Amino acid sequence: MRTRGVDPRDTSWEQDHATYRVSFWDVPAHVAHEFEIVDRVDIEELLRWAREYAAERGWAHTVYAVATDAGERGLIRLAGVLGDPFAP
């Protein structure tokens, strides 16, 4: 992991909460289960819940932050499976 120092004045805004989405991947069944988190939640609490929920079911998971760019909604991966777990 590479790091670099930054000037905190290089951003124009921040917020103390985010909208998150979690995808759970039941790979053998080739089924995805998607949830959007509707409450304000600390990321550590969300990651713990996602790991436990997936482990109880034997699924993989991915946690995303929901973002908007040029007026279109998108997802930024924060943790979990990278890429499409259903890809051959």
Q: What is the pLDDT of residue 86?
A: 85
Q: What is the pLDDT of residue 16?
A: 82
Among 30, 17, 18, 80, which residue's Cα sits nearest to residue 53? Answer: 80
Whether the per-residue pLDDT at 88 is higher than 80: the answer is: no
Q: What is the pLDDT of residue 84?
A: 85
Q: What is the pLDDT of residue 87?
A: 82
- Give the Cα separation of 61 and 24 in Å (integer): 4
Residue 18 CB: number of other CB atoms within 10 A? 16
The full set of domain ranges for the chain reads 17-80
- Give the Cα separation of 76 and 65 in Å (integer): 5
The type of residue at 65 is: A
pLDDT digits (tens, 9 = 90+) for 7-61: 999 988 888 889 999 999 999 999 999 999 989 999 999 999 999 999 999 999 9
Q: What is the pLDDT of residue 58?
A: 95
> Looking at residues 60-80, what average pLDDT do you find?
94
Q: Are 59 and 24 in contact (CB under 8 A)?
A: yes
Q: In which residue are the tokens 């790979």 written? A: 27
Q: What is the pLDDT of residue 40?
A: 92
- Give the Cα separation of 12 and 40 in Å (integer): 22
